[in-house]
């Protein structure tokens, strides 16, 4: 049973949550654990996630050479897209050790995308 806490969770609790549910999150949502943006309502979940990333990049006017910080980057999927499709140099920050390890593995050779555990 889930009961409301009387205090805000600390960072260690949040990190433990994501680490404990790592397999579930990746099996359910893949490496994009943020929600999507449905324009027509007929998009797949993957298309909606791409729409959301594209919308954020457009609204932020991300251009080649821009430096972007992706707070709460999760597995790093959005950071990789912002680099690949928009030419940004991206630093992603996550508090989950498992998400950090996955992001680092998925981006071992790209010097323009860096991930930080913190």
Query: Are 88 and 111 contacting, i.e. CB atoms less than 8 angstroms apart?
Result: no
Residue in the block written with tokens 């979940």: 45
Give me the domains of the chain, ranges plus CATH numbers. Answer: 11-117 (3.40.50.150)
pLDDT surpassing 90 at residue 22: no
The model carries a pTM of 0.82
Give pLDDT, residue 35: 77
Mean pLDDT score of the chain:
89
Chain segment 73-103, per-residue pLDDT in tens? 999 999 999 999 999 999 999 999 999 999 9
Query: Are 34 and 18 contacting, i.e. CB atoms less than 8 angstroms apart?
Result: no
Query: Are 33 and 72 contacting, i.e. CB atoms less than 8 angstroms apart?
Result: no
């Amino acid at each position: 049973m889930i009961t409301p806490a009387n205090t805000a969770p600390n960072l260690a609790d949040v990190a433990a949550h994501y680490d404990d549910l790592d397999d579930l999150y990746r099996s359910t949502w893949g490496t994009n654990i943020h929600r999507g943006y449905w324009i027509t309502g007929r998009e797949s979940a993957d298309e909606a996630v791409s729409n959301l990333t594209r919308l954020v990049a457009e609204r932020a006017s991300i251009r080649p050479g821009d430096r972007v910080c992706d707070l709460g980057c999760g597995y790093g999927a959005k950071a990789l897209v912002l680099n690949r499709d928009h030419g940004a140099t991206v630093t992603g920050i996550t508090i989950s050790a498992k998400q950090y390890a996955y992001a680092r593995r998925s981006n071992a050779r790209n010097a323009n995308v860096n991930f930080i555990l913190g």
